[in-house]
Amino acid sequence: MHWYQINLKEIYQRLNTSERGLTSEEVKRRLEKYGANKLAEEKDINKLKIFLHQFASPLIYILIIAGAITLVLKEYIDSGVIFAVVILNAVIGYIQEYKAEQSVRALKKMLVPKAKVLRDGIEKEVNSEELVPGDIVLLYSGIRVPADIRLVHTVELKIDESILTGESLPVEKHHHTIKDENLTYGDQKNMAFMGTIVVSGRAKGIVVETGMNTVFGKIAKGIREAEAVKAPLQDKIQKFANLVGIFVVVASVLLFVMGLIIGEGIKEMFMTAVAAAVAAIPEGLPMVVTVTLAVGVIRMAKRNAIVRRLHAVETLGSTTVICTDKTGTLTKNEMTVKLIYDGKKIYEVEGSGYEPKGRILHNGLEVDLKKDYEALIETLRIGLLCNESNIYEEDGEFKLEGDPTEGALIVSALKAGLNKAEEEKRYELIETIPFESERGYMATLHKHRGEKLVFIKGAPEKIVDLCRKNFWGEELNKKEIHSIINRFAKEGMRVLAFAYVKVPKETEEISCKEIEQCYAAEGLVFTGLQAMIDPPRPEAIEAIKGCKKAGIRVVMITGDHAVTAKAIGNMLGIGDEKSEVLTGKDLEKMTDEELFEKVKRVNIFARVSPEHKLKIVKQLMAQGQIVAVTGDGVNDAPALKAAHIGIAMGKSGTDVAKEASDMVLTDDNFASIFNAVKEGRVVFDNIRKVVFFLIPTGLASILSIIGAVVTGLPIPYFPAQILWINLVTNGLQVISLAFEPGEKGVIERSPRPPEEGIMSRLMIERTIIVGFLISLGVAYTFMKALEQGESLETARTVAVTTMVFFQFFQAWNSRSEYESIFRINPFSNMFLFLSLIVATLAQIAFIYLPALQWVFRTKPISAEDWQNIILIALSVIVVVEIDKWLRRKRR
């Protein structure tokens, strides 16, 4: 129900209440009917179900089968490693998922424990959970609103609704009925919503919604109902695992049948087929994916991005659209005066935020304020003294106490060299008329050098109307001033006007009536305008440029007004003068099909509600985009959870937003997202490098065994020797590839097509080439050894060593898809360099150490054999280098 549209008399009737509040008996009846004013209790988390869920993956099934097979083969070390990987993955996944399930609980931390109400005509303090529709609640400065309330009476009430709307400035509230249709929460000025904070003033209102029926409760429901989207990487690995599983099973069965056809024994062929299957299964992949993601987590943390869920690391790298808030993320969330008009000239103000550093310029040249700039100084002085806020320094940071608009006025005066303490001493404050939205201005009475002055600041349309002359005593050109005001407003700035009037020396108090009738009849003196904005972060502008180069679209979704949103969007490079801006009102009138078309081209959305933000995100996802969403308020939580990756603000973010997110920015800066995107791309590249290292060699193992069976040759390896190949080549090298540094130009590439799998077309083609090359190379050295009269054990030792060195060189090939290995610093990944040395020493021990000779049935090989092995294995580098060169030319 749109309570803001209903007049107060009708609301009293509908809720059967009065100005004296409800009776205690009536409250009891309504508590039974409506329930407690709290969020629905969550069901206990089923920890066992979450743990078992971690095993529901095809790749895990393959690993379990591989572990069982190695147990049958009595290779207990391999079996132990495989099962350890399975359990490690399950534990990490369990921890992440368990934390995710707790996100809604964070909402409860934001509920107020107490509320002031009128019951039986008496003011009482009660638990907020006991509030019911019809209760009369009293609001005052500093408290959180305990329910959704229709305001009945307000006195200078301002409420910070940023957690619901994202709007940076406190909202001035009133109690009058609003007839407009489809207003967003930010425009419902006669409503106070649960969880928002009263910044100043006081009010009385009727509780109209409680618990899960409040806006806050609906958001909580949305968080619970929003399905956690499966990360693209999870989906890709699942599909990849299915393909690998099918290939391994088919190849193993084919090998077994072929062996039986040519007369091999059932037991021997069964063990060979099983061993070949183990060789082809990339059992190291889940562990390496986890390690690669963990490395990415560490790298991102150094760039102010804390990852809460491992898959988020890669997801960010594949992002095609970033939906971002404006306030605090793209902007500083610190109002700053940028332009000043003194009735004749326009001045630019440098600097941003609350730090009082920056020059005042006219036409690009610094102004010497010691000279003839009285009107400018007077405008700044009025802004400084007709003010109820304060700027203070704490731990090297300048902070605001009070209203952001007033804070900006203090800073602009300080930049001009005015000293607040000295000015307050020179212009002694006698009386204040606080700002009220209905009045449109604030006024203060001061004593200065035996004279009395009234300083006034407020809405330009109100102040200019009260003025007759400018600072120099000339007739005021109101048409010109209004054109300046409109110009500033079109640039998305908030404009305030400043004036003063001299009053009789005996004046000890002032009233609105005197200002608007008596003093205004003679005319207030107009001194100037100050225009302010929450300025864009300079680093965010650069980051958005970088996103465009990287093929990532940036969409701004804000609770601020359309004019402000468009101006900031243009400054940031998200839009331009011709760009369309959609508001929450526009979205209310659209069907899902219309919105689906609009989100393809609209990059700025203003005055939107939480439901609108979620709709926008879902429509982008429906188009096949990989969507990242930023947010800091309760209003953002459903969208954060529904998106592929939710990014919460660490400084300004609520607990709710952080718990619903996949990643938290410690500096609330959009530029950190851009940096994290780069790390995400490096992570996915490294996962692909691991796959390109593992799959061709697994394919070669099966092809070489099938080739031997078909040609009637002895099988080139024992099952135990195949497991040795896996152990010595797929151990440290696989993990070391997770530490590969990012390649040049990684951030300038377009995002990968969302439908592209783990293996690209390039990788598939190169995998087939390399797989066949390795199998042919192994077959050649094996057959040559036999032809030279060497024993079958020696020939098999040669075949195993050839396979091992092929994989060593393949590890180097895997470091880049396009870049020549001769252009890559061999020491840039010391882990890989050292792992190859260790593996080489292990292979030498495999050949010459008596104990290992006995276990694996190996024999020493000659210098000539070594020469053949190295030369043949090096062919994989030559072939891949040629392939890279041809593809670079094609690019």
Q: Which two tokens stand for residue 505?
A: 């020396």
* Cα–Cα dist 718/733, whole Å: 23
* Cα–Cα dist 554/323, whole Å: 6
SS (H, E, C) 739-768: HCCCCCCHHHCCCCCCCCCCCCHHHHHHHH
Amino acid 377 reads I
Whether 325 is a known active-site residue: answer yes
Measure the CA dihedral 104/110/111/114, to 10°: 160
Residue 6 phi/psi, 5-degree rounding, is -95, 135
Q: Which two tokens stand for residue 815?
A: 């470091």
Judged on CB neighbours under 10 Å (0-12, 13-18, 19+), 1 is exposed
CA separation, residue 219 to residues 462, 612, 636, 645, 847 (Å):
39, 12, 9, 18, 66
Question: DSSP per residue over 346-411, as a string?
Answer: EEEE---TTS----EEETTEE--TTSS-HHHHHHHHHHHHS---EEEEETTEEEEES-HHHHHHHH
- Please count the other Cβ atoms lying within 10 Å of the Cβ belonging to residue 698: 27
* Cα–Cα dist 850/252, whole Å: 32
CA separation, residue 510 to residues 31, 122, 155, 517 (Å):
49, 35, 19, 12
Q: Is 156 helix (H, G, I), strand (E, B) or coil?
A: strand
- The β-bridge partners of 398 are 393
Which position has the token pair 């040249």? 365
Write down how long the chain is: 891
* Cα–Cα dist 811/837, whole Å: 13
Q: Is 800 helix (H, G, I), strand (E, B) or coil?
A: helix
Judged on CB neighbours under 10 Å (0-12, 13-18, 19+), 559 is buried
Contact (CB, 8 A) for 534 and 541: no
Catalytic entry in 135, 160, 187, 325:
325
CA neighbor of 633 nearest in space, from 619, 620, 646, 617: 646
Catalytic residue list: 325
